[in-house]
Amino acid sequence: NHIYVAPGHAHLVCRRERGKIVIDYQTHYAQSRYCPSVDAMFESVASLYGADGMAVVLSGMGNDGVIGARAVSDAGGSVLVQDMESSVVWGMPGAVAREHLATAILAPAQMTEVLGRIVKLA
């Protein structure tokens, strides 16, 4: 298991290389004014994983995540959004929820339960 963090100057994306999925940095992403942008990652997840993809949108400012959440949703994947009550700032999760892209709106503790069940099924 790994945790990947995007640096302040690039977007984190996943792509296929020689039959394997790799995590990479992308320095240009015209769809968003934010850098790093979670939209870039979510769009790459949607294109690689389709209906098996998932986006998790946690507390944050702005509307970053809407474009990518739409891509994941349109591909048949799931979009989990942090609820307003547990969010410090409901900007990003709220923007995704207002676009009706959330599969579920949950507190982080509930998300861990859902993600745990999904991992056990895989």
CA distance 53 to 13: 13
Dmax (CA) of the chain:
44
Class of domain 11-121 as given by CATH: alpha beta
Is 1 within 8 Å of 29 (Cβ atoms)?
Answer: no
Q: Are 52 and 77 in contact (CB under 8 A)?
A: yes
| Sequence spans of domains, the chain | 11-121
pTM above 0.85? yes
Q: Give the pair of three-digit tokens for residue 115.
A: 């993600």
Tens of pLDDT, residue by residue over 9-59, are 999 999 999 999 999 999 988 888 889 999 999 999 999 999 999 999 999
Look at strands 11-17 and 20-26 and give their pairing: antiparallel
